[in-house]
Amino acid sequence: MGQGKSQFSEEELQDYEDLTYFTKKEVLYAHQKFKALAPEKVGHNKNAKLPLTKILQYPELGVNPFGDRICKVFSSSHDGDCTFEDFLDMMSVFSDAAPKAVKAEHAFRIFDFDGDDMLGASDLRQVVERLVGSNQLLESEMQHLIQKILEEADLDDDGALSFAEFEHIIDKSSDFANVFRIRL
């Protein structure tokens, strides 16, 4: 990588390669992208933690209606602030190389706003509201849509989607892996 020495030892790079879906070269590239978000803070501090506002300056996160939720799911402190390792983990899961099952698990966590390990009506409402943005639905339309989602996907009729039910939907979606992606 040019004349600059990496902030990471060969052993650290090997660990990152072993623990992610990235090569060592991609890990170094991810670090460049992380550092570019706040060069003054990251500098030579490989353990720097960036606030959510800085992480959301990453173009694909900034325009994603779930950008803040994505950061919070991957943040080791759950406030959305991210270390490089949090950022690397996030980018790894959103990479083309990550398996569909891993992507599904994280998508479920992103959509589970209340953290109860189920996607209930309130979670589904928040998902829909974020997806439609300023094109708000009438309350009757929202209720109808949530009801239809649950009719289609709630296989055990308990009024919420478990991870297994969510995964069943994902398995039927041929485009999921292509949509659940962020390029470095």
- Percent of the chain exceeding pLDDT 70 equals 97
The sign of the CA dihedral 108, 96, 21, 13 is negative
pTM here? 0.91
* CA 8 to mean position of chain CA atoms: 25
Cross-strand partners of 119: 161
Mean pLDDT of 130-153: 93
- What SS3 class is residue 35? helix
- Residue of 37, 109, 20 lying closest to 72 (CA atoms): 109
User: Residue 68: is its pLDDT beyond 50?
Assistant: yes
pLDDT at 3: 42
Instruction: List the structure tokens of 33.
Output: 């992208």
Confidence at residue 5, expressed as pLDDT on a 0 to 100 scale:
60
With a pLDDT cut of 90, the percent of the chain lying above it is 85
Mean pLDDT of the chain: 93
CB atoms under 10 Å from CB of 27, counted, come to 24
Contact yes or no for 160/122 (Cβ under 8 A): no
**Whole-angstrom Cα distance, residue 57 to residue 59?**
6
Percent helix, strand, coil in the chain, to 5, is 60, 5, 40
What is the tens place of the pLDDT at every residue in 2-41? 445 678 999 999 999 999 999 999 999 999 999 999 999 9
Strands (E), 10-155: 49-50, 82-83
